[in-house]
Structure 1
Amino acid sequence: MNPETNPAASPTANASLGELLSQLSTQTSRLVRDEIRLAQKEFQDSARHAGVGAGLISVAGLLAVFGLLTLIAAAVAALSLVLPVWAAALIVGAVLLVIAGIAALVSRRQLEQVTPAAPETVTSVKKDIDEVKGAAHVRS
């Protein structure tokens, strides 16, 4: 007879509790190993995509810097049509320094508003720790 049509003929139908627990342990171990292998494969795929993405972002950033430098050189060249080259470079450099100074001041204001830690989270974690300590002392 076929085990699917006759439950008494299945390998687990006549198995002892010890055998069933052994099978459960074996199957659980196999399931955990399979899940870990799947997670590793998914992580590798994700890491590969992240690496490619990070590389492309780096290339884009580098090209953006080159583009900005080219625009700065074009600004110097355009000003050099009406001024000496040294004066054109001086003016463009001064404008860039003013923009950098403004950016530094804005970033400083933003950094002053940063809190050192998430105060609500710290308070909540401290409260949880105190409650766990209190519960541990009550049980002792």
Structure 2
Amino acid sequence: MALSYADQRAGQTRAEATGATGPVPSAARPPTAQPPGTEPPEDRSLGDLIGEITDDLGQLVRDEIELAKAEIKQEATKAGKASGMLAGAGYAGHLVLLLGSLTVVFALGNVMNLAWAALVVTGLWAVGGAVLFLVGRKRLREVRPAPRQTIETLKEDAAWARHPTS
């Protein structure tokens, strides 16, 4: 009894259809399903396989780049919100400093003339600002414009690449 094409597509074997036992000839087995547009691996050329690998690798790289972009965007949003909060804290700190200075001026105003009290507080802020300026300028002079250690290691790498045995 021969199987119809519909029986083969449904996955029935000759043994199932006839009730026979034993090995089923390969001609009676249903054809294996291949994804559309692909050939069995043994029928593909080396060029086709390399092309597919290249396409897959390119897609992987594009997917990774998209993931990186999404992560960077998410982190930049977090950093922007945090920066805004820090700016608000800086403004609040400025107001505390200003109002605290006025409090000191009025407190000294109970001991001396209000104008002299304001002058004393202004002088204290001038001295504090001068100290901060001098320390900042000293530290700024210590900053190197170029990453010297990186430049040195790159020079060593270039020299080694020219003469790898030495």
RMSD: 2.6
Q: Work out whether residues 76 and 89 of structure 1, in 8 Å CA contact, stay in contact via their aligned partners in 2.
A: yes
Report which of the two structures shows the higher radius of gyration computed on alpha carbons: 2
1:38-83 CA deviation, whole Å, 9 max, x = no partner? 1111111011111111111111111111111110111111111121
Q: Does 1:39 align with 2:45?
A: no
TM-score normalised by L of structure 1: 0.75
Equivalents in 1 of 2:62, 2:131: separation in Å?
Answer: 56
Match for 1:29 among 58, 72, 77? 58
- The answer for unaligned runs of 5 or more in structure 2 is 1-10, 12-31
Query: Which runs of structure 2 are paired with 1:1-140 in the superposition (5 Å)?
Result: 12-16=40-44, 17-115=46-144, 117-132=146-161, 134-135=162-163
Question: Which structure's residues are more often helix, by fraction?
Answer: 1
Equivalents in 1 of 2:135, 2:115: separation in Å?
Answer: 30
Higher relative contact order (CA 8 A, sep 6+): 2
TM-score normalised by L of structure 2: 0.65
Counterpart of 2:26 in structure 1 is none
Shift in CA distance, 12/86, structure 1 to aligned 2, threshold 3 Å = farther
Q: Work out whether residues 75 and 92 of structure 1, in 8 Å CA contact, stay in contact via their aligned partners in 2.
A: yes
Number of residue pairs matched by the alignment: 129
Shift in CA distance, 31/125, structure 1 to aligned 2, threshold 3 Å = closer
Shift in CA distance, 118/18, structure 1 to aligned 2, threshold 3 Å = closer
